[in-house]
Amino acid sequence: MRIFRHLAILFLFTAPVAALAALNAGDLPANSQWYFHADFKEMRSTDAGRLLYGWLEDDVFDEVREDAGVDLNKEADSVTAFAVDGNGVVIIIDGNISQQTQDKVLAMGAVAGGFDKLESAGHSYYYFEADKHRRDDDAQRNVDIDTDSFDGAAFVSFAIDNKLLLTSSEKGMQALLAENGKVAGSGAANGTMFVLRADRSFVQAGASAGDLGRTIDWDSNILRNTEHAALLIADKAGKIAIEAQLVTTEKAMADSLASIVRGLISLQMFNAELDPAIAEFLQNTSVRVDDNKLTISVALDPEVVVAAIK
């Protein structure tokens, strides 16, 4: 289903809660495995963000528009995604979702394979199945879906005003509709996820590496000893600030990671063929350790960041 794969392209831009200017740890469900929040409205409102948004228009939105006929530039104010243990992947697009876009999404889903219109909590939603194998109508509405991909099946709803809701499991969709499109966060001050914030956040993302480590056989001892990872892209006095943090199981591992990062930066600085934009990026990168937390940060002119991305 192409539209769902195109929506996933947005996560590569750096993967919540819709309509929030910034995300707090307590806004996420307690058993979240990863999250992603991109605030396009905030990007469009600042000089630094507009350059970044221009890259998105040229390299991401145009492709979605050409292949899917959906204009995210006009209709999306934010994209939020997260994965919850047991509820699969949830994606929320906030903005002026037009009837034309709704029609196109439904048409593409119907053409892809199985199609059902269902209802929960007084709201309608749709089930799309990419392959031709239909569910038994007499069976319970439970579908085994790979939460890492929407290639198999998806649940979609436009029932909540100004939202496009997309989930990989029926349980996840029903939970959203029961709350009128709002995410039932943990509400805890600390939360279970590690979230970085700024006054003007463009992108927030993170993952609980501990959860992933229980399901993935890491080849790297470093990754096995990383508990949380978080990324923030924000406006800082007219510059684009990029910050990544890793929380490790012990301080010694954080120190080792910091040494590796500093060494890699030093090695690259001796590369005579290094692009000037990348060289400036590396020169301004700060690496520091606070107990078991490794922080890598840099603040650059927007032109430099966009040039490095391209």
80 is a domain residue = yes
Residues 216 and 117 in one domain: no
Q: Residue 21's pLDDT is what? A: 53
Residues 228 and 123 in one domain: no
Q: Smallest Cα–Cα separation from 243: which of 292, 299, 192, 199? A: 299
184 is a domain residue = no
Residues 171 and 207 in one domain: no
Would you place residue 289 in the very low, low, confident or very high pLDDT band (cuts 50, 70, 90)? very high
90 is a domain residue = yes
Do residues 18 and 94 make contact, with C-beta atoms less than 8 angstroms apart? yes
113 is a domain residue = yes
Give Cα 34 distance to the centre of its chain.
8
Residues 223 and 276 in one domain: yes
Range of the domain at 226: 201-309
Measured in residues, the chain has a length of 310
Residue 202 pLDDT more than 80?
Answer: yes
**26-35, 131-140, 251-260, range with the lowest pLDDT:** 131-140
Q: Which of 127, 145, 178 is the endpoint of a domain?
A: 178
187 is a domain residue = no
Residues 171 and 216 in one domain: no
Q: Smallest Cα–Cα separation from 90: which of 164, 22, 12, 200? A: 164
Residues 247 and 127 in one domain: no
Per-residue pLDDT tens digits for 61-91 = 888 777 766 777 888 899 889 988 777 899 9
| The total number of structural domains that make up the chain | 2
Q: Which of 178, 193, 210 is the endpoint of a domain?
A: 178
Residues 172 and 224 in one domain: no
Q: Which residues are within 8 A (CB) of 101 and not within 5 positions of it... i.e. 6 or more apart?
A: 70, 71, 75, 164
206 is a domain residue = yes
**Which has more pLDDT, 121 or 136?**
121
Residues 89 and 36 in one domain: yes
**Mean confidence (pLDDT) of the chain:** 78
Residues 153 and 213 in one domain: no
Per-residue pLDDT tens digits for 143-181 = 333 334 455 678 999 999 999 999 999 999 999 999 988
Q: Smallest Cα–Cα separation from 302: which of 44, 49, 62? A: 49
pTM for the structure as a whole: 0.79
183 is a domain residue = no
Do residues 94 and 42 make contact, with C-beta atoms less than 8 angstroms apart? no
Residues 155 and 295 in one domain: no
Residues 111 and 143 in one domain: yes
Query: Distance between CA 204 and CA 195 in Å, rounded?
Result: 7
Q: Which of 144, 178, 212 is the endpoint of a domain?
A: 178
Q: Residue 9's pLDDT is what? A: 44
Q: Smallest Cα–Cα separation from 201: which of 45, 12, 69, 55? A: 45
61 is a domain residue = yes
Residues 164 and 289 in one domain: no
